[in-house]
A and B are shown apart, each in its own frame.
Chain A
């Protein structure tokens, strides 16, 4: 484990202290931060390590939200519902990945995007199970007061983030991560040295989907009401990519920082430019990416490099 990985775990550790300092608003923000960081870190496995630009994050977010929602209405406990959604997403994404990841580049991006639409339509039409376009009401879980609820969901989402971070660190240090790096750089050559690229890419896709699904499930339980246009929102696919770009694609610490910075920008811009917030946010992102094409993490490395040369 290198220093960047430790820094990531330290950052996540710091986030855990939030309930001692903030009220319900800070907790809501913190929960969203954990959610965003989970999505971005998960995307990084397939988009950053393997180099396949997936737009399927929203598909698995929605899948998890609905899977957990339906299981909760059936009377299953929250933890079990989320665990089942996680495993189902791992399996589903692994199988879909074996098919979808035969496409490369733009073609893969479009195919993964269509996955969101397909799942959305499936949910829309399975009215008996999901309520279709009417949405799905989810029974209250704990119900022991607003603040207690907020703290519970914050820590639950934080736990998902921690699990995602550990998964990402594990992958990056393993043979799987090494293989994914080979695939990203030269997939033909990777095959010729005996690397089963289809298997590795499917594993990566499955791992990048499972915690997104778990986060979606928690989100559903948190907001008590979901409908297809909310949880299959394409923004859930786009935002993690922007966060990763801002933080520095491929580096887990950078991606997590990118998620936090993105959330900060989103919140500040929303507050000050309520009418044109999307435009201002978009502009800010473009400026950031133009000035820092390799992400926020390149700032830190640049500073270190300069200091090292002066010593």
Chain B
């Protein structure tokens, strides 16, 4: 599998706070990677730095053979990098349909509003929101807005998708539904990097796990190996979880 994204000694600080310390890693085409770590570990900063929201202070980002360290968010989006937000960011006054149409319209150059709306409906149907297409985004429930975010990113036809805690704040039935969607997207061959706190979902979906702690990469490998890694147990999982997990396996 060829590498789609390569981070080389990527660092980012906010004043005195070192959010990312020389993180180097590669993401291969078709992988579903789980990005885990305690709160404040730099997971969202990593996504933001790759997408150009908070540009790197040092190091480089290489995407499909092209240096994108200094691109702006809208340029990253047009290159095929899409992301969902931890805190959902809908266009509140727009209908669900227009939210998705906006993503289709601006991420792909040269498409018209009419064709964007037609595409948008298919993506809404994929996430199960077709019945709410005409409803304004502000009136949707949180679970629906999370799925709307998914539909928006899909409408951008991404080559690499970052999911930032799509399951946070959802109940177990809703989590199951969202997980199924992620499975489907992965089966369609999309490369996904997901930030997730629910280990059940991570282990269920991901083929590889990356662990960040205090901005540093402390583990990177197959789920089974990472779960047994003492540093990961110490920093994030906790002894209890590790013992229970070991007992289950």
Contacts and interface: CB of A to CB of B under 8 A. Distances in A.
Interface of A: 175, 178-179, 181-182, 185-186, 188-197
Interface string B101-130: 011011110001100000000000000000
Interface residues of B, number: 27
Interface in B20-45: none
B208 interface: no
29 contacts: A175-B113, A178-B113, A179-B102, A181-B91, A182-B94, A182-B102, A185-B93, A185-B94, A186-B89, A186-B92, A188-B89, A189-B85, A190-B102, A191-B74, A191-B77, A192-B51, A192-B77, A192-B83, A192-B85, A192-B89, A193-B74, A193-B77, A193-B103, A193-B107, A194-B103, A194-B108, A194-B156, A195-B102, A195-B106
Contacts of A195: 74, 102, 106
Contacts of A191: 53, 72-74, 77
Nearest to B104: A193
B85 to A, nearest CB: 7
A196 B74 contact: yes
A178 B95 CA distance: 13
B147 interface: no
Given A175-B113, A194-B106, A194-B156, A185 B83 contact: no
Ranked 6 nearest A-B pairs via Cβ: A194-B77, A194-B107, A189-B89, A191-B73, A185-B91, A195-B106
A186 B90 contact: yes
B152 interface: yes
Nearest to B89: A189
Contacts of B152: 193
Contacts, number: 68
B84 to A, nearest CB: 9
B93 A193 contact: no
B106 A189 contact: no
A9 to B, nearest CB: 22
A186 to B, nearest CB: 5
B93 A181 contact: yes
A186 B90 CA distance: 7
A197 B52 CA distance: 14
Contact of B92 (A185, A190, A196): A185
B78 interface: yes
Contacts of B72: 191
Q: Which of B73, B94, B152 has the most CB of A within 10 A?
A: B73
Nearest to A199: B74
A293 to B, nearest CB: 16
B153 to A, nearest CB: 8
Interface in B69-101: 72-74, 77-78, 82-83, 85, 89-94, 98
A178 B105 contact: yes
B113 A193 contact: no
A169 to B, nearest CB: 15
Contacts of B91: 181-182, 185-186, 189-190
Contacts of A181: 91, 93-94
Contact of B106 (A185, A186, A188, A193): A193
A178 B99 CA distance: 11
A13 B220 CA distance: 69
A197 B74 contact: yes
Contacts of B51: 192
A181 B101 CA distance: 13
A191 to B, nearest CB: 4
B104 to A, nearest CB: 9
Given A182-B94, A189-B91, 11 more contacts: A178-B98, A178-B105, A185-B94, A186-B92, A188-B89, A189-B85, A189-B89, A190-B102, A191-B73, A192-B89, A194-B156
B90 A193 contact: no
Nearest to B93: A185
B226 to A, nearest CB: 29
Q: Which of A181, A190, A197 has the most CB of B within 10 A?
A: A190
Contacts of A194: 74, 77-78, 103, 106-108, 156
Nearest to A189: B89
Interface string B47-81: 00001010000000000000000001110011000
